[in-house]
């Protein structure tokens, strides 16, 4: 069903992140207020690989967690119909992070994020990242939608 997919153009409309920090290329299996699967294609051209590590490139674990968090933000944005001009989704907490398999150039991350609790604009999630069908990382995390503060002029 086409309504459960979020293409790159919609990701760009729903998330404020941009290169080099946008870590979700597209999403599928979207169920409003319930779950989503984010997709990240890892390439050798990622800006972190020259330093992590030049001879044996590995995607930093913290960026895998960030990719799960961005997938959760995408779920929140579409579920709540949040405009990036008026609200920002902020990462609140993270627990139980485990890394099981390194992500390397050529891998495709499938970040399955499920809502475990919601109260208003606050969501709690369980995220699991898979590479080739194998669990690579997992975490419990929370995020909230907050009004964008206008800069002082």
What's phi and psi for 120, nearest 5 deg? 60, -120
Measuring CA to CA, how many Å separate 24 from each of 54, 55, 73, 89?
23, 25, 10, 15
Alpha-helical runs (H) found in the chain: 8-14, 61-80
Kindly state the DSSP code that residue 150 receives in the 8-state scheme. P
Active site residue 52: yes
| Catalytic residue (choose from 17, 44, 52, 110) | 52
Write out the catalytic residue numbers.
52
């Amino acid at each position: 069903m086409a309504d459960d997919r979020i293409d790159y153009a919609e990701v760009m409309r729903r998330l404020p992140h941009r290169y080099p920090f946008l870590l979700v290329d597209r999403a599928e299996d979207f169920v409003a207020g319930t779950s989503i699967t984010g997709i990240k294609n890892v390439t050798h051209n990622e800006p972190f690989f020259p330093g992590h590590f030049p001879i044996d490139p590995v995607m930093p674990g913290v960026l895998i967690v960030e990719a799960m968090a961005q997938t959760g933000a995408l779920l929140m944005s579409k579920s709540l119909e949040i405009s990036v001009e008026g609200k920002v989704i902020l990462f609140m907490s993270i627990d139980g992070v485990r890394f099981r398999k390194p992500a390397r150039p050529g891998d495709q991350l499938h970040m399955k994020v499920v809502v475990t609790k919601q109260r208003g604009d606050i969501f709690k999630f369980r995220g699991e990242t898979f590479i080739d069908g194998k669990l690579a990382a997992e975490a419990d995390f929370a995020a909230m939608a907050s009004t964008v503060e206008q800069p002082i002029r």
